[in-house]
Structure 1
């Protein structure tokens, strides 16, 4: 009987889209079967937030699959939570590949204990997120959102004229985290002649092509633009809290297209309200969807995006093929 590669779709990625490249790449060697996470999109989003905080065992997710569990040797997934208990249903499992760069929904320890190979899809939407980061920097410095709202509502130039509109060129950029997205942000901004500071405790200074490696304390005290790109982990949650935010320059802005839990959102609101920093460009939030009464909704100098930084046509179209190739390399390393 053929071994099975199980492709698990979810409310944010149709199983048909995720399975097609796997069928093309692996269909002659394995039986590719489809499965679906039985949840609505709002339910899945809410569960993802709990998973990010508590891991894959924090939710009870229902998987609809008619595959023979004893024949499953490979799994492709995106958001479906693979806890130790769930993984136990596939006794012959040899490899798991996720379409995400993040791995909070997968019990990596359980995989390692069983010798199951694993691959994340690092960098699949890095360019999309990097471009959105640059867009939020420019939109926040130039208060694009306020101008748009004023014209849309029938006005023209705000009165009195805003005096704090600033250019990005020649400023000091602080990158907190220097992975795939942080590196691309720096590359996309080369023409702006920026002084670049990087804070990343895992970075070998030799891996920094341009700029200076500094402590987080030094970065927040000096940068005109602080941009978050660290990975979420127990060590980085709340990385930028009240102490670091209060140390930022009063004319500085903060951009977060990474993870909401890197930032103390309440402390950010307090700093914006007292004028401790001049603005923020945000794509991720501590509660999503953002509550209707969130102070961020009405603050001047704040540009908001509803967690769409990585959701481009290009990123979504390339990711299923990338994850299928990752699983192929794990199951057929000599191919």
Structure 2
């Protein structure tokens, strides 16, 4: 029996494509952020058996119903806020994610944003490119000895805790759902979120997007932070109230922010954040290094192939509705 897999929002890594084709599967991919009408038309025409979700606006009921043969939806990554998981569950279509495949990459990116901020890399780069050279005016700092507050202690948070500890940072994390074994010599458990936000020198967000975490960082919680605090977000853009963050950065409520994610994506050209020089940004690429993309693709394609052939997947890959 032949199968068709459609990757929405960009292709999988070449190694993943090779896996699919070696399994006799027809493979099709689209450009990033395809129009909904085009997605529905493509899925209907190909009668897709599986969807791989990369860069899309939203996988909703209409898209899930487009192919009568659809058997699985697999996120090319870990976050599934762009998939209507309850709708898929209602239709009997499992949703999976490549859990943990890019954790190290995202953790490294969060650390890189911290260094970029505390070493003032953005402004120093512009300073030298502008023909200047006056090292005595530099006011950079060290991460060593500072308290890193992690919000979320999944695989990314745990990886970052080890990295930050090696740099010499003290690490505390708030995650009411993490087991005790997630903490240890590199990180202690914070009793409550507000206390952590008020005491941390650097706050790094690694929580999933849920109704409880949407706008978790808002005017109130930003107001708890020290004026020297640095805020890092490699989770989902919706975890931060962006207008409130822009006001906090402008007013000096916090010292700076490093953002890899936004709401919406791509962000608007007139986003008020662009007017601020105490901000470092990147285009949601923390988890898409070549190494991470390859690993995510191999896990995603391997899971899709196994499911289509009737094999049982490990439960950790399934997303609850």
TM-score, length-scaled by structure 2: 0.84
User: Pairwise mapping of residues 63-102 of structure 1 onto structure 2 (< 5 A)?
Assistant: 63-64=41-42, 69=47, 73-79=49-55, 81-102=58-79
Instruction: Select 2:233's aligned residue among 252, 256, 274.
Output: 256
Structure 2 residue 257 is the aligned partner of structure 1 residue 277: no
Q: Which moved more, 1:269-278 or 1:92-101?
A: 92-101
Instruction: Select 2:7's aligned residue among 9, 12, 15.
Output: 9
Moved over 6 A (4+): 14-17
1:159-208 Cα deviation digits (max 9, x unpaired): x8244x22101111100111221111112222123221211232233432
Structure 2 residue 183 is the aligned partner of structure 1 residue 208: yes
* Paired positions, count: 308
Structure 1: segments with no counterpart, 5+ residues: 48-58
TM-score, length-scaled by structure 1: 0.81
Distance 1:18 1:215 in 2: 42
Distance 2:276 2:69 in 1: 54
Paired residues of 1:173 and 1:196 also in contact (CA < 8 A): yes
2:311: which partner in 1? 333
Distance 1:301 1:334 in 2: 49
Distance 1:248 1:110 in 2: 38
1:51: which partner in 2? none
Paired residues of 1:280 and 1:303 also in contact (CA < 8 A): yes
2:162: which partner in 1? 187
Task: Please report how far the alpha carbon of residue 250 of structure 1 lies from its aligned counterpart in structure 2 after TM superposition.
Answer: 1.2
Structure 2 residue 114 is the aligned partner of structure 1 residue 116: no
2:27: which partner in 1? 34
The Cα RMSD (Å) is 2.8
Task: Please report how far the alpha carbon of residue 3 of structure 1 lies from its aligned counterpart in structure 2 after TM superposition.
Answer: 4.3
Distance 1:15 1:236, change over 3 A: same
Structure 2: segments with no counterpart, 5+ residues: 314-321
Paired residues of 1:7 and 1:77 also in contact (CA < 8 A): no
- Bigger relative contact order (CA 8 A; separation at least 6): 2
2:109: which partner in 1? 132
Paired residues of 2:49 and 2:71 also in contact (CA < 8 A): yes
Structure 2 residue 137 is the aligned partner of structure 1 residue 161: yes
Structure 2 residue 195 is the aligned partner of structure 1 residue 197: no
Distance 2:254 2:242 in 1: 13
